[in-house]
């Protein structure tokens, strides 16, 4: 027995080294494998240090082995082809071509892109494929990319609402919108007209299809589908809604009162506001909101009082006068509609008191002595030489409305809010812009000169910029490129923050062809650096071939030059503010300007707007 145990122990002694050898072999093997993988990964990293990894694609475009500049050049060539071909849409045999890079072209202040690509962002994001994590994660991603490939998205922005507006403007003549059963009051008697079926184009679907094509970089003509629709409100379903009509028509008038004034609503007026609406699952009698609000807008002209903050007027370094503050008053038109509608539908006459809201001032007259307005803290200047008459006029009106404004400590200043309504009632003149293939007047041409000059004043004052959008293309009025800011109601706005701890006085003036904005306040020792100044300009691209736009506003064959050519470019500068405490805040401003060809408007023969519709079978 003892002998057997001894033999077993001897056998175990011989077995252990064999197991150790296997372990050593395994360790050596895996170490060698890891070393080989590390060497392979290192070689891979070195080989593709300046280029994209194999398997990375932007749709059908393979990027493997290509450098960033090579890919950028290829993508810009694709964009040039898209621009050349345009965005094509077909409806009932008619085809239109929309310039993808412009909504309007008469005025640089209105021009903005319908479709814009951010190729730099596209390329930068594609380059991070396989490089976004630590070494093990990168290796894992690289292997996946090699085996399965990786599709990277195209960075772009498509203004779908404006695209739909253009398509509607062009193709609406081919539509027959459904007509609801309609209530008409004639000589105090109700008549109900019958409903009619109709058909409209599915513009939303077309815009969605375009987005898919853009992402696939395979643009082609898009056919608009017809939607055949039945009206919701039918004559046979209106009987229940008409039951309360006699009580309404028994009213002779309704009186409205506000701020000691009175307006009488005759039966002929308010009965014309009555209509059918579909709510829930039934047809009801209602009051047309748009018509009531249009009526109330006229009353508001007699009631509303604009809020006025206290303003200061300077002559040199001296304060020469104050503009006293004034509380604002505004007719609450939404609430007024609700009250008027409720009274009419209930068949109640009498008087309706309209609610008038009071808007308190931000800066009262009594506050102006404690503002801390001591010295000039920053100045912005821009030149508008060569501007047409209407543009110069609008610049002067905008500057006058801003002159003397006080910006409270901690306030985020909104330029659009400060300018207020931009319309004829406030002194602005119109300029022509292009919408689809029509030229239409719009207010506000020249106000981007205001936005640009405010941007420069805020920068020189060391104030944080909270909202800024550059123009779509370079304009001589806003050079140097990269130091401009566009505004357009309701968007984009230009905004900055008053973080000085004191009030800022906004002073505006026009001297010859120069627009000058001075910000007065109290200096706190902050230092401002703009680097480089002027901004760096790169990626300059030529304007391309001459572009012609058909217009029915000119005689057939007549031509009118709209724009001279402008090169496209990118710009960059870093905005650094160092505060007395040692805190440093930095903002980077990158601007992309699309190339702009010479543009001509060409008179085209008017096209037929007779409906041409393929009806469904049966």
Q: Quick check: 493 and 414 in contact, CB under 8 A?
A: yes
Q: Quick check: 352 and 254 in contact, CB under 8 A?
A: yes
Give per-residue pLDDT as tens, 258-309: 998 999 999 899 999 999 998 988 999 999 999 999 999 999 999 998 887 7
Burial of 279 (0-12, 13-18, 19+ CB in 10 A): exposed
Indicate if the pLDDT at residue 406 is higher than 90: no
Q: Quick check: 593 and 480 in contact, CB under 8 A?
A: no
Give the mean model confidence (pLDDT) for residues 213-242. 90
Q: How confident is the model at residue 8 (pLDDT cuts 50, 70, 90)?
A: low
DSSP reduced 3-state for 192? strand
The pTM is what? 0.66
Which residue do the tokens 């609000």 mark? Answer: 293
Least confidently predicted of 475-479, 530-534, 550-554: 550-554
Please report the pLDDT score of residue 113 as a whole number. 77
Indicate if the pLDDT at residue 587 is higher than 50: yes
Give the mean model confidence (pLDDT) for residues 516-525. 93
Indicate if the pLDDT at residue 324 is higher than 70: no
Burial of 389 (0-12, 13-18, 19+ CB in 10 A): exposed
Give the mean model confidence (pLDDT) for residues 349-374. 76
Question: How many Cβ atoms from other residues are within 10 Å of residue 346's Cβ?
Answer: 11
Q: How confident is the model at residue 17 (pLDDT cuts 50, 70, 90)?
A: low
Least confidently predicted of 419-428, 446-455, 459-468, 609-618: 609-618
CA distance 478 to 380: 12
Query: Which residues, in sequence order, are CB contacts of 1 under 8 Å at separation 6+?
Result: none
The HSE-up count of residue 510 (CA atoms within 13 Å, CB side) is: 17
Closest CA to 203 of 157, 158, 159, 163: 163
CA distance 21 to 26: 9
Give the mean model confidence (pLDDT) for residues 39-60. 82
Please report the pLDDT score of residue 593 as a whole number. 87
Give the mean model confidence (pLDDT) for residues 341-346. 93
H or E element, residue 277: strand 274-279
- Looking at per-residue pLDDT, the higher value among 257 and 317 belongs to 257
Percent of the chain with pLDDT over 70: 86
Please report the pLDDT score of residue 115 as a whole number. 87
Please report the pLDDT score of residue 369 as a whole number. 54
Indicate if the pLDDT at residue 18 is higher than 80: no
Give the mean model confidence (pLDDT) for residues 569-578. 96
Rg (Cα) of the chain, in Å, rounded? Answer: 34
Please report the pLDDT score of residue 52 as a whole number. 94
CA distance 45 to 53: 9
Q: How confident is the model at residue 68 (pLDDT cuts 50, 70, 90)?
A: very high
Please report the pLDDT score of residue 23 as a whole number. 73
Q: Quick check: 522 and 375 in contact, CB under 8 A?
A: yes
pLDDT averaged over the chain?
A: 85
Indicate if the pLDDT at residue 489 is higher than 70: yes
Indicate if the pLDDT at residue 134 is higher than 90: no
DSSP-derived letter for residue 85 is: H
Question: How many Cβ atoms from other residues are within 10 Å of residue 303's Cβ?
Answer: 15
Please report the pLDDT score of residue 537 as a whole number. 96
Top-confidence range, 317-326, 552-561, 568-577: 568-577
Phi/psi at 258 (nearest 5 deg)?
A: -165, 130
Please report the pLDDT score of residue 611 as a whole number. 36
- Looking at per-residue pLDDT, the higher value among 259 and 489 belongs to 259
Indicate if the pLDDT at residue 407 is higher than 50: yes
Least confidently predicted of 5-19, 255-269, 321-335, 356-370: 5-19
Torsion of CA 200, 205, 210, 215, to 10 degrees: 180
Indicate if the pLDDT at residue 618 is higher than 90: no
Q: How confident is the model at residue 337 (pLDDT cuts 50, 70, 90)?
A: very high
Q: How confident is the model at residue 124 (pLDDT cuts 50, 70, 90)?
A: very high
Q: How confident is the model at residue 233 (pLDDT cuts 50, 70, 90)?
A: very high
- Looking at per-residue pLDDT, the higher value among 102 and 607 belongs to 102
Give per-residue pLDDT as tens, 152-209: 999 998 888 889 988 998 898 899 999 999 999 888 788 999 999 999 999 999 999 9
Please report the pLDDT score of residue 12 as a whole number. 53
Please report the pLDDT score of residue 594 as a whole number. 80
Indicate if the pLDDT at residue 7 is higher than 60: no
Give the mean model confidence (pLDDT) for residues 449-474. 95
Please report the pLDDT score of residue 468 as a whole number. 96
């Amino acid at each position: 027995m003892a002998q057997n145990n001894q033999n077993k122990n001897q056998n175990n002694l011989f077995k252990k080294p064999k197991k150790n050898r296997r372990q050593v072999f395994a360790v050596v093997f895996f170490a060698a494998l890891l070393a080989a993988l590390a060497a392979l990964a290192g070689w891979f990293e070195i080989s593709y240090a300046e280029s994209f990894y194999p398997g990375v694609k932007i749709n059908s475009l393979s990027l493997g082995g290509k450098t960033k500049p090579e890919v950028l050049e290829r993508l810009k060539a694709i964009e040039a082809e898209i621009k050349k071909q345009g965005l094509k849409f077909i409806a009932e045999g008619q085809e239109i071509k929309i310039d993808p890079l412009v909504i309007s072209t008469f005025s640089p202040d209105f021009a903005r892109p319908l479709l814009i690509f951010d190729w730099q962002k596209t390329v930068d994001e594609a380059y991070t494929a396989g490089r976004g994590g630590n070494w093990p994660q990168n290796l894992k991603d690289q292997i996946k990319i090699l085996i399965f490939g990786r599709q990277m998205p195209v960075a772009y922005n498509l203004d779908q609402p404006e695209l739909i507006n253009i398509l509607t403007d062009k193709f609406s003549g081919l539509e027959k919108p459904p007509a609801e059963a309609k209530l008409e009051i004639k000589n105090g008697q109700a008549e109900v007209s019958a409903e009619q079926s109709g058909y409209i184009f599915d513009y939303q679907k077309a815009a969605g299809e375009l987005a898919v094509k853009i992402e696939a970089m395979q643009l082609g003509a898009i056919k608009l589908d017809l939607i055949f629709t039945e009206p919701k409100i039918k004559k046979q379903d209106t009987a229940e809604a008409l039951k309360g009509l006699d009580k309404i028509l028994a009213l002779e008038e309704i009186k409205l009162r506000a701020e000691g004034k009175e307006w009488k609503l005759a039966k002929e007026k308010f009965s014309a506001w009555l209509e059918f609406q579909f709510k829930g699952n039934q047809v009801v009698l209602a009051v047309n909101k748009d018509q009531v609000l249009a009526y109330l807008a006229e009353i508001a002209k007699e009631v509303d009082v604009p809020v006025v903050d206290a303003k200061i007027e300077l002559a040199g370094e001296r304060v020469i006068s104050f503009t006293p503050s004034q509380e604002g008053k505004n007719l609450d038109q939404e609430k007024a509609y609700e009250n008027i509608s409720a009274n009419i539908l209930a068949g109640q006459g009498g008087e309706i008191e309209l609610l008038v809201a009071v808007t308190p001032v931000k800066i009262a007259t009594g506050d102006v002595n404690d503002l801390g307005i001591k010295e000039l803290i920053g100045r912005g200047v821009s030149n508008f030489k060569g501007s047409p008459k209407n543009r110069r006029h609008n610049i002067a009106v905008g500057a006058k409305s801003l002159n003397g404004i006080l910006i409270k400590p901690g306030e985020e200043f909104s330029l659009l809010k400060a300018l207020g309504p931009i319309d004829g009632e406030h002194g602005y003149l119109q300029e022509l812009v292009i919408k689809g293939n029509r030229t239409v007047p719009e207010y506000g041409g020249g106000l981007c000169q205001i936005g640009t000059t405010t941007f420069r004043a805020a920068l020189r004052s060391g104030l944080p910029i909270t909202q800024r959008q550059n123009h779509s293309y370079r304009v001589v009025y806003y050079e140097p490129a990269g130091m401009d800011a566009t505004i357009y109601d309701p968007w984009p706005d230009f905004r900055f923050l008053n973080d000085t701890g004191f009030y800022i006085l906004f002073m505006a003036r026009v001297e010859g062809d120069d627009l000058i904005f001075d910000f007065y306040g109290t200096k706190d020792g902050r230092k401002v650096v703009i680097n480089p100044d002027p901004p760096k300009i790169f990626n300059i691209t030529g304007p391309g071939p001459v572009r012609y736009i058909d217009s029915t506003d000119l005689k057939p064959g007549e031509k009118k030059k709209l724009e001279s050519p402008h090169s496209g470019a990118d710009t960059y500068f870093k905005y650094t503010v160092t505060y007395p405490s040692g805190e440093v805040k930095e903002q980077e401003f990158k601007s992309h300007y699309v190339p702009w060809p010479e543009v001509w408007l060409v008179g085209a023969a008017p096209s037929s707007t007779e409906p041409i519709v393929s009806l469904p079978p049966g």
